[in-house]
Structure 1
Amino acid sequence: MPLFAYKGRDNQGALVQGTLESTDSSNVASQLSSLNITPIEIKPQTAKTMTKEVSLDFFEEKISTLDVMLFSRQMYTLLKAGIPIMNALNGLQASTQNKTFGLVIGNIRESLAGGRELSVALAQHPKVFSSFYISMVRVGESTGLLDSVFLRLFEHLEFERFMRDQIKAALRYPTFVVIAMAIAIVVVNLFVIPAFAKVFESFGAELPLMTRVLLGFSGFMQASWPYLLVAGIGAILMFRSYVATSIGKYNWDSFKLKTPIAGKIIHKATMARFARSFALASKSGVPITNGLKLVAQTADNDYVGSRIDQMREGVERGESILRTATNSGVFNPIVLQMIAVGEESGSLDDLMEEVADMYQRDVEYEIKTLGAQIEPILIVFLGVMVLILALGIFLPIWDLGSIALNKG
């Protein structure tokens, strides 16, 4: 996505500037509004500026989710102990192992020393702190529960990291198997079958249909492999370019949810992330509509995020959460029942945490049984490959051997 440089004013009238990654300037304006920042200027970053940032980022140490997690946990501990926030940030800056993150903390300290609020200081680093994170900190500042908010953010980031790792683990095995099979097919067609082709030519007899098909396909790959390689690389680049667009990302995220086996794991993980984020926002005192807007940005799936946005629009029209959740089409009946109970009893945040726990357990179970689910498919696929090779390569050898024996 393109980067946009922005300037704006916060609630106190202080100037705020930074960069945000978004599809267009209108989305940037919406994100700034959710952070209570009135945009003054929004413009795409020039190629010169972007090149400069890329060259700097190449040599700088990257800031990971783990760094932000540790920062949140340490801030909770220090603030809980009654240490002033400036002293806490000073200690964290001196003790952090990530030098780049240390510079970010130093910049936050300078902003606080200049009279800005912590949430505004964090908003100057959108690549490090998400809009959801900043909004939670703003809620903590307004309610006087900043230490508790940092603890919840730590737990939230830990959960997010866990779910991402689970999804990667779920996709790693089938991806590896598909790549291994593709390599095997290429090796067989480029090296194995051509060796048998020379033997078949010496026979001078008519070959079975399956053998002729294998030899023809192998010959095609031998003659066209440079073009096939270029076409494959071009297809990958075109796919990445398409997915980088908003509509491409939406369609790809929708397709991932419909893929066999892995799709249901991704769906459950996304639902767990939504439920946990919504529970955190609700417990922190964020209004439902604002909470849904923030959660849609953290869904990590544009298709599900659009459905959450539809829920927010329905709530703004006066519809119940249950009705909007039902119309979204992404929740199963059990979750809808829990939402209904939570809405009636006023304990929606607690029940959403239970929903997140339920989905998390389901994801863990699905990943543990992933091998057992994929093995039958792989066995069938390998069986078909072996059958084709046996019929195409060994059948003519067997036939010619039988003829030779009969003649003898």
Structure 2
Amino acid sequence: MARKKDAPNKQQYPMFYWQGMDSQGLEQEGELQALNINFVKAQLRKQGITPGKIRKKKPALFGLGEKKITTREIALFARLLSTMIQAGIPLVQSLNVVAEGTENAALQKIIISIRNEVADGNMLSAGLRRHPEYFDQLFCNLVEAGEKSGALEAMLNRVALYKEKTDRIKAKVKKALYYPIAVLSIGFAVMLILLLKVVPQFEALFNSFNAELPIMTQIVIGISEFIQYWWWSILGLLILIPFLLKKSYKNSEQVAYRIDALTLRMPIIGLIIKKSSIARFARTLSTSFTAGMPLVESMTSSAGASGNRVYTRAIFTARDSIATGQQLHFALKTTRIFPTMVTLMVSIGEESGSLDRMLDKVAGFYEEEVDDAVEAMTTLLEPIVVAVLGFLVGGLVLAMYLPIFKMGSLF
């Protein structure tokens, strides 16, 4: 018996740009993902549109010209779709409106692909699951729960709120990490320019003095000569080390775990990462548990959303304990990385039957803690960074002028 050939994945279909007339004689245009032009015509006729001009869209060269899809755009998509459905607009038409109003071409292509799935009679959650890189398991599960319960607009609104809050907490952590790195990088770039361009000019001047230079000046000149001779090796290491660390973090679970564990031990920043991981865990667990997902399944989604592998591994351990019959608060307590306040709030929620509300309060509390910690760190780091840069650059300049001051005192 001949084996049936597998149908091509719809995500591999080309994109077509079309123009046509609707049933009221109005001109319409849009994009459609299909196997060929005949399928586009058939799909348009099914929607009551008389096809006109149809042409295949050329893909962007090397993916250039397409913006990256952000979490904020995914949240906006969910909120707009929720608003459309709440207004009584059919789902296919709602997806059309949202796609037309989306400026990001990459996201528009995905929404059109999802629209085609729904137009073919599939559930919205099935269309979302075809794009797991943008719609995670929790997103799809909540949408599916909304479809089955008849409360899709409420679930989409809840997903949008969840995405917005988790994106906000991520942005706060990035701000905490990027600010000192950016300022120090600029400072070291200025120092490199001084060492490579300015110090050699002074060195040529000092050689004409034929006098012994101060120790501080000798050290700076030695560093300048070393950088001038080995600049290509230093530049290579500055590029290679971050690249290897990023690749190892992505491909090796053990390396990623150790790096995440190290970040938790860092002063100030480690505390911010701890609080943000707890906030994201509590927010995800509250959202999924409110939607009626089983606790074990909710813990799986929450583990991936924590953003730190130390907490991810601990949450998976707690999930396995819950699967054997333990209560959530006791399972979290045995991991020894969740604060007492968290386990107490969870315990109260379990006893009172309001676990989702208690988790929501935990998430809100730690989100405010992250906000306060980032603001405090920024305020504290500003004078420290300025002092460090002033010491380094000022010390370098002083080292260059010491021999001139010494020569001036002799005359």
Q: TM class, shorter-chain normalised?
A: 0.7 to 0.9
Please, which of 250, 258, 261 is the counterpart of residue 244 of structure 1? 250
Question: Once superposed, which parts of structure 1, at least 4 consecutive aligned residues long, lie more than 6 Å away?
Answer: 15-19
| Contact map agreement 2:158 2:287 (CA 8 A) in 1 | yes
Give me the whole-angstrom Cα distance separating, in 2, the residues matched to 1:237 and 1:96: 34
Residue 381 of structure 2 is aligned to residue 374 of structure 1: yes
| Contact map agreement 2:184 2:389 (CA 8 A) in 1 | no
Secondary structure in 1 aligned to 2:122?
coil
Residue 183 of structure 2 is aligned to residue 177 of structure 1: yes
User: Structure 1 pair 387/134, CA: closer, same or farther in 2 (3 Å)?
Assistant: same
Give me the whole-angstrom Cα distance separating, in 1, the residues matched to 2:234 and 2:125: 52
More divergent stretch after superposition (390-399 vs 259-268): 390-399
Residue 310 of structure 2 is aligned to residue 300 of structure 1: no
| Contact map agreement 1:292 1:312 (CA 8 A) in 2 | yes
Secondary structure in 2 aligned to 1:385?
helix
Residue 342 of structure 2 is aligned to residue 335 of structure 1: yes
Give me the whole-angstrom Cα distance separating, in 2, the residues matched to 1:160 and 1:355: 14
Q: How far has the Cα of 1:380 moved from its partner?
A: 4.5
| Contact map agreement 1:17 1:124 (CA 8 A) in 2 | no
User: Structure 1 pair 234/88, CA: closer, same or farther in 2 (3 Å)?
Assistant: closer
Q: How far has the Cα of 1:278 moved from its partner?
A: 0.9
Partner of 1:136 in structure 2? 142
Give me the whole-angstrom Cα distance separating, in 2, the residues matched to 1:174 and 1:229: 21
User: Structure 1 pair 222/321, CA: closer, same or farther in 2 (3 Å)?
Assistant: same
Deviations 1:211-242, CA, capped at 9 Å, x for gaps:
32222111111122122222322223222322
Partner of 1:192 in structure 2? 198
Partner of 1:226 in structure 2? 232
Secondary structure in 2 aligned to 1:240?
helix
User: Structure 1 pair 211/109, CA: closer, same or farther in 2 (3 Å)?
Assistant: closer
Partner of 1:4 in structure 2? none
Deviations 1:158-214, CA, capped at 9 Å, x for gaps:
112222222232233212211022112212322232233233323323333333222
In the TM superposition, what are the counterparts of 1:137-286 in structure 2 within 5 Å?
137-247=143-253, 248-286=255-293
Listed as ranges, the gaps of 5+ residues in structure 2 are 1-7, 13-57
Residue 56 of structure 2 is aligned to residue 75 of structure 1: no
Task: Give 1:343's aligned amino acid.
Answer: E
Please, which of 284, 295, 309 is the counterpart of residue 288 of structure 1? 295
Partner of 2:358 in structure 1? 351
Please, which of 322, 325, 329 is the counterpart of residue 318 of structure 1? 325
Secondary structure in 1 aligned to 2:208?
helix
Q: How many residues align?
A: 359
User: Structure 1 pair 67/395, CA: closer, same or farther in 2 (3 Å)?
Assistant: closer
User: Structure 1 pair 74/211, CA: closer, same or farther in 2 (3 Å)?
Assistant: closer
Residue 129 of structure 2 is aligned to residue 123 of structure 1: yes
Q: How far has the Cα of 1:401 moved from its partner?
A: 3.5
User: Structure 1 pair 103/200, CA: closer, same or farther in 2 (3 Å)?
Assistant: closer
Q: How far has the Cα of 1:303 moved from its partner?
A: 3.0
Deviations 1:352-408, CA, capped at 9 Å, x for gaps:
111111112122222222332113432552454267437644444444443x24xxx
| Contact map agreement 1:16 1:124 (CA 8 A) in 2 | no
Give me the whole-angstrom Cα distance separating, in 1, the residues matched to 2:362 and 2:374: 18
Give me the whole-angstrom Cα distance separating, in 2, the residues matched to 1:354 and 1:289: 21
Secondary structure in 2 aligned to 1:318?
coil
TM-score, normalised with respect to structure 1: 0.78
User: Structure 1 pair 87/230, CA: closer, same or farther in 2 (3 Å)?
Assistant: closer
Secondary structure in 1 aligned to 2:302?
helix
Task: Give 1:197's aligned amino acid.
Answer: E
User: Structure 1 pair 117/336, CA: closer, same or farther in 2 (3 Å)?
Assistant: same
Q: How far has the Cα of 1:102 moved from its partner?
A: 3.7
Give me the whole-angstrom Cα distance separating, in 1, the residues matched to 2:281 and 2:71: 18
User: Structure 1 pair 359/387, CA: closer, same or farther in 2 (3 Å)?
Assistant: same
Give me the whole-angstrom Cα distance separating, in 1, the residues matched to 2:68 and 2:286: 30
| Contact map agreement 2:67 2:104 (CA 8 A) in 1 | yes
Give me the whole-angstrom Cα distance separating, in 2, the residues matched to 1:327 and 1:107: 45
More divergent stretch after superposition (143-152 vs 289-298): 143-152
Q: How far has the Cα of 1:296 moved from its partner?
A: 1.6
Q: How far has the Cα of 1:261 moved from its partner?
A: 2.6
Give me the whole-angstrom Cα distance separating, in 2, the residues matched to 1:16 and 1:142: 26
Residue 117 of structure 2 is aligned to residue 111 of structure 1: yes
Give me the whole-angstrom Cα distance separating, in 2, the residues matched to 1:375 and 1:289: 44
Q: How far has the Cα of 1:256 moved from its partner?
A: 2.8
Give me the whole-angstrom Cα distance separating, in 2, the residues matched to 1:162 and 1:79: 26
Task: Give 1:200's aligned amino acid.
Answer: F
Give me the whole-angstrom Cα distance separating, in 1, the residues matched to 2:216 and 2:67: 56
More divergent stretch after superposition (121-130 vs 280-289): 121-130
Partner of 1:30 in structure 2? none
Cα RMSD for the two superposed structures: 3.0
Deviations 1:104-148, CA, capped at 9 Å, x for gaps:
333323323444322222111222311110011122233332221
Please, which of 52, 59, 63 is the counterpart of residue 69 of structure 2? 63
More divergent stretch after superposition (309-318 vs 323-332): 323-332
Give me the whole-angstrom Cα distance separating, in 1, the residues matched to 2:147 and 2:391: 63
Task: Give 1:183's aligned amino acid.
Answer: A
Listed as ranges, the gaps of 5+ residues in structure 1 are 1-14, 20-51
TM-score, normalised with respect to structure 2: 0.77
Q: How far has the Cα of 1:149 moved from its partner?
A: 0.8
| Contact map agreement 2:277 2:308 (CA 8 A) in 1 | yes
Partner of 1:46 in structure 2? none
